[in-house]
Amino acid sequence: MKKILVTVFSIFTMVTFAQDTPTADAVIEKYFTAIGGKDAISKIQDLTISSTSESQRGTAETEMKFKFPDRYSMSIFMNGNEVMGAIYDGNKLKNGGFGGGNRPPLEGKEAQMSAMRSNPFSELLYDKMGITRTVLGKEKVGEKDAYKLELATADGKKWNDYYEVESGLKVKTYSMNETPRGKFENIVSYINYKKFKGIEVMLPSQTKRSGGQMGEVVSDVQSVKVNKGLKDSDFIIKE
């Protein structure tokens, strides 16, 4: 009798979970609505985000440029010198500084995937990149409930994004990264979404990254520039 009751309860719990839990795509759609809507996002042709970061290595300034749909660059400066950077020309991605050294550029799908993870609206690229998404349930992020999504690439790489149940906003990303020094957890928290001058889409004004060799890195957005006429020639990889 006990076994029957346990089985019935398990089935009831599974059915209730399925009824109460939205699909991953519905969670993502709510997120887009929460930050301003896909129509507002579609009007963004290029975007430049400047921020300052504090870590155990000191203060750094970062400039990220995006020319949608497929150009991206990032430069990190300390004491006026560029110490790290990346540039994606739509086909190849080149890392520089202590993060990239003299490594050859990434190409094809690997380059696209790396650039996608830096895109502020990466969810728009999931279908194109063959990213599967699954809702694993709810978890607390801080004091609020969030839907935990598992994202997976065709070759088996996985990470988790967390979206607040109430607001719909993405509040955390978790991944496990493999490096020559071993595996490191990487956690990114997205804090204080707001609209910056000239843009109708909300962006997180602060991010906190923890894990890896840098320890905790806290970044605060200082300025956002939208549709300033960035050109493809601004994203040329110099051999």
- The structural domains of the chain, ordered by start, are 23-235 (2.50.20.10)
Beta-carbon contacts of residue 159 (< 8 Å; ≥ 6 apart): 150, 151, 173, 174, 175, 176
Over residues 70-127, the pLDDT tens digits come to 999 999 999 889 999 999 999 999 998 654 456 789 999 999 999 999 999 999 999 9
Residue 208 phi, psi (nearest 5): -125, 125
pTM attached to this predicted model: 0.87
Q: What is the mean pLDDT of residues 173-177?
A: 91
Tell which wins on pLDDT, 216 or 35: 35
d(CA 187, CA 214): 12
Exposure letters 169-198 (e unless 16+ CB within 10 A, then b)? bbbbbbbeeeeeeeeeeeebbbbebeebee
| Ranges 30-34, 110-114, 189-193: which has the least confidence | 110-114
